[in-house]
Amino acid sequence: MIHDVSVHQQYQLAKKDELKILIVGAGIAGLTAAQMLRKQGNNPVLIERNKSNKSSGYMLALMPMVDNAISELKVTETYLNKSVSINNFNFYSHQGSLLRKNSIHELMSKYGTYRGISRGRLIEVLTDDGCMLTYDTKVSDLHQKIIKYLFLLKDMKIYLILI
């Protein structure tokens, strides 16, 4: 479950971390990175430019390479329950009639699971234990000063100095 919180709330947790981490973008990669860092005891600040996560519609086919990340996040059971196994692929003519049906189960099963899941459901899987996120926030500028970074978040009068 995603918890929409302020950048300030996230940064209060992050400021005790030795390494301050800002993740820009709460898509599949950003959520996965944030959740893996949190499982390791870090408190990354996760921001997303969209106002919500409502545009989460398309279907994803996940190759076996994701199995390790799913396992490390300890969400395998939830992932298996919310996804479907993909065992075949079909070839159709330009008129829509089935020309050939091929099994990919034998090939893919050597490497792990090949599953389909909607983007929205995958976000639910990744955030099952909770996930702090700040929506409607953009990085509009970045200045490097020796070992300090100054982030100006667009439309907000908040400056973060990460050391």
Question: Per residue in 27-83, pLDDT tens?
Answer: 889 999 999 999 999 999 999 998 887 666 677 788 778 888 899 999 999 999 999
Confidence of residue 24 (pLDDT cuts 50, 70, 90): very high
Centre a 10 Å sphere on the Cβ of residue 102 and count the other Cβ atoms it contains: 11
**In terms of pLDDT, which residue wins out, 63 or 24?**
24
d(CA 157, CA 76): 40
Tokens of 9: 């709330």
Lowest average pLDDT, out of 21-35, 96-110, 127-141, goes to: 96-110
d(CA 101, CA 74): 34
Confidence of residue 154 (pLDDT cuts 50, 70, 90): low
pLDDT tens-digit series, residues 129-144: 899 999 999 888 877 6
* pLDDT at 45 (0 to 100): 94
Closest C-alpha to 155, from 3, 56, 12, 51: 51
Closest C-alpha to 116, from 80, 76, 85: 85
Fold of 2-162: FAD/NAD(P)-binding domain (3.50.50)
- What is the pTM for the complete model shown? 0.76
First to last CA, the chain: 30
